[in-house]
Chains A and B, each alone.
Chain A
Amino acid sequence: MSEGKSVAPHVPNMGPDWQQYSVRPGDRRRDLWMGRLISAIAFSAIAAIILIFLFIGREAAPVITSSEVHQEVTVAKMIVPLETRPGKPKMYLWQPVSETPKYSLPPLLLGSLKATLVAILFAAPFAIGAAIYSSEFAPPRIREMIKPVIEMLAGIPSVVMGFFALMVLASVLKDTFGWKFRLNATNAGIALGIAIIPVIYTVAEGALRAVPRQIREAAQALGATPWATARRVILPAAAPGIFAGVMLGLGRAIGETMIVLMASGNAAIWSPHLTDSIRTMSATIAAELAEVVNGSAHYHVLFFIGALLFLLTFLVNSLGELYVGRLRRRLTGVSG
């Protein structure tokens, strides 16, 4: 006003700004094309899953179909024990670079199983305990402090965790328990367990928090203490969610590579002991693929293991998702 040049307030501004934001014939066309482009790009997640499936399958298929690969290895030979020398007992052997290469999968499956088992047994109590504490008992101030701790734990790169397990944890465990091998299933499993605590915690805590407030308040209105409420009402209601968290943690543990590659000893031994070295499926791929000849039987076998790993984690994760869905239905069913 004081500058004297101001436009009277009742005159609408019809300057260049108005033109920029109005709809011109070209804008309709652009809208259409951008819509198509965005919809097309949105398919890339679906495309990625399909391509992963196709291209790992393509490199793994010769193990089943190619007669050239069959001269060295067949699926049957990967499953049954192999004869080393006449008269000696048959054994499971993973010796891909020996004169007659041997590709027994059972020791690798057992290795993955052992590391995963230790990881879950180690991680689940801590993760679920912490989830119950922070959702039910912790004062708000402490609850606010637990979250960044879990996020930081989740932010530790797996190669750093592997380094810690290799250099520090292995020596501590060996000195404490007097094990024969520094690097073994338990050592790798514990490091793996620390790495999956955030996964289990996050899902379990989400499930506990998702229990509707009305249920909590109804229990307390009936005279239940917070601790009785947690034990009798919240925990049973959130059980599928907690189970889902454990499954998703399991999925992460099976596929995790760097920790087991660095901390497990990488020896494919067919043994039930948790203090022996192991060689997991993921670590086998990581350790051998770089040195293998493209298109050789060994190369295809490694992709075959990758395909197995893909299917295995897919199954476990789907099971976890199933239970997340079950939890949602249960909670909405109860509150409605």
Chain B
Amino acid sequence: MMADPAAVHVTTDQGAVSILSHRRFRFLRHVSPLPILTGFLTLCVVAMLVIVLWNIIAGGIGGLTWEFLTASPTEGMTKGGIFPAIFGTVFLVFLMTVFAIPVGVATAVFLRYYARPESKLARLVRVAVNNLAGVPSIVFGLFGLGFFIQFVGRGIDKAFYGGDLAFGQPAIIWASLTLAVLTLPVVIVTTEEAMRAIPRDYIEASYALGATRWQTIRHVVIPNSMTGILTGGILAVSRGAGEVAPIMFTGAAYYLPYLPAKLNDQFMELGYHVYVLSTQSPDVEKTLPLLYSTVLVLLLLTFALNALAVVIRMRLRLRQAG
């Protein structure tokens, strides 16, 4: 399809076509080889990633001990471990997936198998999903406070607790619900992509056997898109675990002497812990090694999840191709 690679560096203009030649790009005629320039820019992007990763790995690897991962912070968070933050993060993203995956999968099923593809309704849902993906994370934080805590939480308190404060305050359930709304687009898009890859024959065969639409979805669509749903869930978890702005006022705590056990408990979280330690610590020099190790744990967690999603997707593609 392409000419031989040696031709890449030929810069003569002879024979060039101008069916779409554009005055905005005319200046490029005088630029010396585009491949070298763009290749160099690509290399710079790689270098940025390497520098950031190298800095954090080199700074954090020394403090990454078993004790660090399993102990609580001590001495005003200048010593000790980060276990409560790890526990809180895992609890938080687990609750988040419980909310986000069923809703996301149902929406994807609706878009693919219930709505007519070009219907107004389907288009409206798609526009909403797109817009939701573009809302800044801090706005989700405001939404969580204004809607989940002030409206839903206060409402529950008034109805069931006689106005006593139980749910009308920052808590892990509100933080995870806020994150679920934030990660919903990820789940929807990934699931729908997997459903698009299911051969039409399967669906038609199921209908031909007399199965209802719901039976087809339950026994054909969902099992066949399980990897996609899993990938969506993992990507959502990886995104959710790294977000700090939406949980700052909806449930994350500066420091807690206990682990969250109830849905209306507050919790410590890795990303928030990084923010707190690096901006509000009285002695940053002293906490820096600890801080680096915390950042490394957070980074490893999100990267491991992303890598897992990539591997699952690759195997899915291979299976489809083969």
Contacts and interface: CB of A to CB of B under 8 A. Distances in A.
A306 B271 contact: no
A159 B271 contact: yes
A228 B245 contact: no
B208 interface: no
Interface in A122-180: 125-127, 129-130, 132-134, 136-139, 146, 148-153, 155-164, 166-168
A233 interface: yes
Nearest 9 interchain pairs by C-beta: A255-B136, A157-B242, A129-B41, A223-B15, A236-B22, A42-B110, A133-B38, A31-B212, A41-B106
B17 interface: yes
B124 A46 contact: yes
Contacts of B97: none
B302 A155 contact: yes
Contact of A34 (B8, B188, B214): B214
Q: Could you say which of A251, A252, A285 has the most chain B C-beta atoms within 10 Å of its C-beta?
A: A285
Given A48-B181, A155-B302, A306-B142, A233 B33 contact: no
A67 B252 CA distance: 34
B318 interface: no
Contacts of B219: 21
A282 B45 CA distance: 26
A42 B138 contact: no
Interface string B265-295: 0000001101100110000000010010001
A121 interface: no
24 contacts: A23-B211, A28-B212, A45-B125, A55-B151, A56-B139, A130-B38, A130-B45, A133-B35, A133-B42, A137-B39, A152-B306, A157-B299, A157-B302, A158-B244, A164-B56, A213-B1, A216-B1, A225-B8, A226-B8, A227-B9, A227-B34, A231-B28, A282-B138, A313-B134
A197 interface: yes
A167 B310 CA distance: 31
Given A126-B41, A314-B131, A286 B245 contact: yes
Contacts, number: 329
Contact of B110 (A38, A148, A152, A156): A38
A166 B279 CA distance: 9
Contact of B278 (A166, A225, A302): A166
B17 A41 contact: no
Contact of A151 (B147, B150, B248, B310): B310
Contact of B14 (A21, A158, A220, A223): A223
B7 to A, nearest CB: 5
A163 B22 CA distance: 43
Interface in B149-164: 150-151
Nearest to A123: B45
A285 B248 CA distance: 10
A286 B275 CA distance: 11
A39 B114 contact: yes
B34 to A, nearest CB: 6
Contacts of A313: 134-136, 139
Interface in A20-50: 21-23, 27-28, 30-31, 34-35, 37-39, 41-46, 48-49
Contacts of A309: 136, 138-139
A326 interface: no
Contacts of A223: 14-15
Interface in B1-25: 1-3, 5, 7-22, 24-25
Contact of A51 (B8, B138, B143, B145): B143
Interface of A: 21-23, 27-28, 30-31, 34-35, 37-39, 41-46, 48-49, 51-52, 55-56, 58-59, 125-127, 129-130, 132-134, 136-139, 146, 148-153, 155-164, 166-168, 194, 197, 201, 213, 215-220, 222-233, 235-237, 239, 248, 251-252, 254-258, 261-262, 282, 285-286, 289-290, 294, 302-303, 306, 309-310, 313-314, 317, 321, 334
B291 to A, nearest CB: 7
Nearest to B111: A42
Contacts of A254: 136
B136 A159 contact: no
Contacts of B125: 42-43, 45-46
Q: Helix, strand, loop or mixed for chain B's interface?
A: helix
A41 B110 contact: yes
A336 to B, nearest CB: 15
Nearest to B49: A153
B contact residues, range: 35 or more
B137 A45 contact: no
Contacts of A30: 212, 214
Nearest to A36: B114
A160 B12 contact: no
A39 to B, nearest CB: 6
Given A38-B110, A146-B42, A197-B45, A155 B134 contact: no
B25 A231 contact: yes
A134 B45 CA distance: 12
Interface string B208-246: 011111110101000000000000000000100111110
Contact of B141 (A152, A215, A286): A286
A231 B29 contact: yes
A28 B213 CA distance: 9
Nearest to A48: B181
Interface string B84-117: 0000000000000000001100110111001100
B8 A137 contact: yes
